[in-house]
Each structure stands twice: as structure tokens, then as C-alpha cells.
Amino acid sequence: MPAVTAPSRAPRGASVMPDTPGWARWANDHRKWLFAAPAMAFVAALIIFPLAWTVYLSLTDSSGSVRAESEFIGFRNYLDVLSDTDRFWPAVGRTAAFTGVALFFEVVLGMAIALLLWRPFRGEKWVRVAILLPLVATPVAVGMMWRLIFDPNIGLANQALGWIGIGPQPWLAGQHTALPTTIFIDIWQWTPMVVLILLAGLTSLSDEPQEAAMIDGASAWQRFRHVTLPLLMPTVIVAVLLRGIDALKTFDILYATKGRGGGSFNEVETLNVYAYGLSFDYNEYGLSSTVLILFFLIIIGVMWALTARKKEAGR
Amino acid sequence: MKASAGFRAFRAVALAVVVLALVAPLIWMVAASFKTNVDIYDSSKALFFTPTLDNYGTVLQQANYVQFIGNSLWVAFAATLLSLLLGVPAAYSMSRFNMKKSALVVLMARVIPGVSLLVPWYYVFSNLRLVGGFSVLILSHMFVSLPLIVYIMMGYFDGLPDELEEAALVDGLTPIGAFRRITLPLSVPGIATAGILSFIFSWNNFMFALVLSGADTKTLPVAIFDFVGYASIDWGGLMAATTVVTLPIMVIALFVQKYIVSGLTAGATKG
């Protein structure tokens, strides 16, 4: 909406109602901030102040108890964290792998399913219901559910592998299979989200470019590659953006399936799990704040890059 | 556009596989909740077993789940209601006065990692002796609900034409009166969407309650861990617990499917 229309959207109340009491006139004149201020104040109190404190804590050696005396140590935490190849960098790697792999499959599968659902057909309703179920299920419960299915001894997964003659896998219990298994769980739960967003995008596209391409004799793949996909690109990027932010911050299913520290070998310890552990298992508030600030910067960076891509695609 | 018979057959098979992949694990979870632990360990009883309600007895009576269900309901309702009270007028102002920067501040809450807020919150609220009480839990869940509601409602208000309000002003209503009597009643579907999603997000929230709840104020996602011991897991009880947590929300979702979809995809197709 163009900014020029703003005055007409907000006619001044006082001039319309000369006989209203003074307080009501004041309220109408100041309704912009009267309406917005409480929510803004809430956000300021609960987010901006804690965030500022986190920045401060990251510059101190605070540990044990936040009440305990702590010393201002400048950027030493940042140097310590950034040179920590034992826990920090592996956690960065796992966060990137988890987010990248999960997002890739969610977008590819989500696009395929959305295209299948694009045109109406009989029984569509039931597919849509099935798609909604994983989305609304409590993530911690979903983690527990998969923990049973992937149990190496009694789980359905190994039974099913047995039917087709493949030996049992350790799944969540294995040092190298745990992270891929949690990625699988994320894909199971959140591909539907991508389907819904892409389907909303597809439905809003006009049929004309498709029809024109068809008359020109384009194949189904060519129509998708050169007509649908470019038009849908801004929606794809929104899906990647929304899902990507949540995937970077994944905590619930990792904690539910592997517990503290991402398992005994830290095999699923992402940045969020690492920061949680530093804060609430080790009480290393200075270090955890440093990790969180770096994590936050990574999220902002990814968002910024994607928003730039979206503007480009929107042109 | 007509789909060919070949494509329709392919679509039917592919979507059947998708539905099976999405629903089978949930059915497996519910089935396990009606099995004894002996049957869960016995692969020949995978599909054919004698159902038992013992696990639900454990969950609802011994594990005190009736109280935790109440806690979850109370926190989700209160957080949603308060967030709507704060969020709907704010979204209206931000939409009508084009307050992009203010909106960005509220939406920041969707991006920040929750852990970074928990340490300061824990410190402040434990000094106020509030940790373990409902008020802190509700406040922390509002942190999730409020940005969601502002985001959905801003999109909704953007889509409402201004002409109705302008006509109301000409008829002698004040701007606030026009908001209250014209815009708000027209926004009921949007408010329902925002409220339902806020409720679900609060019901499902785990991390804040993990740190901020006490033994009496535990919400369901935290209480699930009662069935996971260091040495062994009571699988039957655990699956009954996960069913108690997820089934109500899935049943509700079936009835308000349209709202959930419109809320989750809000703003996705805007330029």
C-alpha cells in the first residue's frame, strides 16, 4: 500500500466528533500509539531487555549463579568459543547439516506433494487431513513416538527392515546414525508445512501462463521448470525462510530423542542444544550468552540473505 | 486443465504412500498405548493384540495427568487471551498506520532463540519469587503467541477495505468506535485463526515450561518425561502420555482445519 494514502486512512477523530468528552477525543487522536504501545512495551520488557542483558553477560565470566560476582572480561569468551573445535564448531556443523538437509528434502518433497494436490480430485479432503496431523502434533510427543519406532530391539523400523532382508540399524542409538534419524523426524513433521505454503502459492497463480505454454507445446516438465517454478519462487523462498528459522532453532525433538547435550557423544548437539546445556546444565552463563549471540547473528545473516533473494525473485 | 488417466493413477498411488507415511506412525503410537509392555516387546503382536486401558490408568491416576492437562489448558487459554488483547489492537494500528518498523520489533520475537531469553527471565522472575508459578509460564508463552497473532492479524487487517470505516466515520462514529463496531466484528475469522494457532503453539511449547514450571505447574510436554527413566522406559505409559497430549489437538485440528491452514500460510503469498 502506498504511503501517500496514510492520511486518508486515518481521519482525525476530533474534527468529526465535536461533542465527545475530552478523554475520548484524546484517545481517538492518539489511538495509533494507544493501540500499539502495550504490545510494544511487552515485547520491550520481555525481549529487548533480556537480549541486552545477554549481550552484557557474553562479555563477562558469569558462571555458577547469575547472582554471583562476575567480572567484565571483554571479548575473551568470543575468542574462547570461536577457537573451540571440541564442542562449538561441531555444533555449528550439525546445525548447518540438520537445517540444510532437512530443508532440502522438505522443499523437494513439499513441492512434489503440493503439485500433486494442486488440481482438485476426489478424496482430496482426506489427504489434506493427513497432511495437517503431523503439523499440529506436539514435537516432544513426536520425538517420543519415533523413539519407540526406531528402538533398535523392539521398534517397527527394524522389523520393517527385516521383512525386506536388511539387518537391524542402530538409528537414534548409533553415534553416526542419530543425526540423520533426527533429520528424518524433522522431515516427517514439517514437510506438510512446506506443502501448505506452496499449495497456497500455487492456488494464487493464474492459469494463463500455463495454458499459453501448453499451446506452445511445452512438456509438463518444461511447464514446471520455466513457467510454474519462476512464478512460485517468492513463495518457495518464504517457505524456506519460515521453515529455516525454525529448523535452525530445533530443540524439542532433539531433547526428546537424545536428552541432555544431544546424547553421550553429543551426536545431535546443535547450537541451540549446546547453548541450553551451557546455561542450564553447566551454568556457564557467560559462555552460553556468547554462543547465543553468535547463533543469533547466524540466524539474522541467513534471514537477510534469503530476504535479498526474495526481493530479487519478486522482480 | 484435464489430467491424463496415467497421471491420475500415478497421483493416487503417490498420495496413498504420502498419507500412509504421515499417518502410520501416529496409528502405531496410539496402538502401542493400548498394549501391555509385554505385547509391545512381542513383534507377533504388532497389529493383533488384546487392548488394555492400564496405560491410561497409569497416566491419568498415578502420574497425575489430570492436573497437567488442566495446567496446559489454563496456560494456553490465558496466554492466548492476553495475547489477543494486546496483539489485535496493535496489529490494527500497525496495519492502518503502516508502522513497518514497530511490526518488525514484534516479529523479532519469532526469530530470537528462546534460550537467550531464559537466563535473564529466570534471574528476574526467581528474584520476584515467581518461578514455578503460572504467571511466568503464561508470560513466556505470550512471547510465542503475541508475534504470531500480530503477524496473522496484520495480514488480515491489510486485506479489509478502508471504505467501511470511512463510511462509519461519515455516519458519526469516532475512529475507535468504527474499529470496535465495524472492523472488529468483521475480523472474527482472522481472530479465530490467530487464537487457534496461538493455542496450539502454546499447548505444544516445551522449552519454556521445562525451565520455568514447577512440580505443580508442569505442562503436558514436560510431564511426558516422567515416563522416561535413566535405566528403562515404560513404553506403554509413555505412548499413552503422548496420545493424551497429541490426540486432543489433532481432533480439534480436524474441525478447524480451514483456520489452521490459513494461519500457517498467512502472508506466504504476498509479494
CB A259 within 8 A of CB B229: no
Instruction: Establish whether this prediction's ipTM goes over 0.85.
Output: yes
Mean pLDDT of all residues in B131-154: 92
- State the pLDDT at residue B267: 72
CA–CA distances in Å: residue A214 to residues A220, A232, B130: 8, 18, 65
Angle CA(A235)–CA(B260)–CA(B137) in degrees, nearest 5? 110
Q: Which domain does A38 fall in, by range?
A: 3-57
Do A225 and A309 share a domain, yes or no? yes
Nearest to B46 by CA among B31, B56, B26: B31
Is A154 within a domain? yes
Do A159 and A245 share a domain, yes or no? yes
According to the CATH classification, is domain B62-264 in 1.20.1260.10?
A: no
B9 and chain A in contact, CB less than 8 A? no
Is A68 within a domain? no
CB contact under 8 A, A136 and B26: no
B14 and chain A in contact, CB less than 8 A? yes
Q: Report the predicted TM-score, pTM, of the whole model to 2 decimal places.
A: 0.91
Do A48 and A96 share a domain, yes or no? no
- Kindly report, residue by residue over A194-212, the tens digit of the pLDDT: 999 999 999 988 888 888 9
Helix pair angle (A124-136, B5-33), 10° resolution = 40
Nearest to A190 by CA among A94, A91, A98: A98
* Interface residue of A19, A66, A119, A148 to substitute, partner B, most B CBs within 10 Å: A148
* Residue B135: CB atoms within 10 Å: 13
CB contact under 8 A, B271 and A24: no
- State the pLDDT at residue A207: 85
Do A88 and A32 share a domain, yes or no? no
- Kindly report, residue by residue over B233-252, the tens digit of the pLDDT: 899 999 999 999 999 999 99
CB contact under 8 A, A272 and B115: yes
CB contact under 8 A, A149 and B121: no
Distance CA A113, CA A116 (A): 5
B135 and chain A in contact, CB less than 8 A? no
Distance from the Cα of B58 to chain A's closest Cα (Å) equals 17
Is A112 within a domain? yes
- State the pLDDT at residue A132: 94
- Kindly report, residue by residue over A242-294, the tens digit of the pLDDT: 899 999 999 999 999 999 889 989 999 999 999 999 999 999 999 999 999 99
**DSSP run (H or E) holding A86:** none
pLDDT confidence band for A5 (50 / 70 / 90)? very low
Is A171 within a domain? yes
Nearest to A148 by CA among B46, B171, B17: B46
Which residue in the block uniquely carries the three cell numbers 491416576?
B61
Closest A-chain CA to B204: A138
Do A216 and A274 share a domain, yes or no? yes
Q: Total structural domains in chain A?
A: 2
pLDDT confidence band for B107 (50 / 70 / 90)? confident
- State the pLDDT at residue A17: 52
pLDDT confidence band for B270 (50 / 70 / 90)? low
Do A258 and A188 share a domain, yes or no? yes
Do A137 and A32 share a domain, yes or no? no
In chain B, residues 23-62 whose CB comes closer than 8 Å to chain A: 23, 25-26, 28-29, 32, 40-41, 43, 46
Do A31 and A128 share a domain, yes or no? no
**Distance of alpha carbon A225 from its chain centroid, rounded?**
27
Do A209 and A160 share a domain, yes or no? yes
Closest B-chain CA to A7: B97
Mean pLDDT of all residues in B165-180: 89
In chain B, residues 137-196 whose CB comes closer than 8 Å to chain A: 139, 142-143, 146-147, 150, 158, 162, 166, 169, 172, 174-176, 179
Is A129 within a domain? yes
Q: How many CA atoms lie within 13 A of A222 on its CB side?
A: 9
- Per the prediction, chain A carries an average pLDDT of 89
* Interface residue of A4, A12, A35, A315 to substitute, partner B, most B CBs within 10 Å: A35
Using the predicted structure, report yes or no on whether residue A9 has a pLDDT greater than 50: no
- Kindly report, residue by residue over A45-99, the tens digit of the pLDDT: 888 888 899 999 999 998 887 777 788 898 999 999 999 999 999 999 999 999 9
- Kindly report, residue by residue over A130-181, the tens digit of the pLDDT: 999 999 999 999 999 999 999 998 888 998 898 899 989 999 999 999 999 9
Is A69 within a domain? no
Do A299 and A195 share a domain, yes or no? yes
CB contact under 8 A, B246 and A137: yes
Do A23 and A142 share a domain, yes or no? no
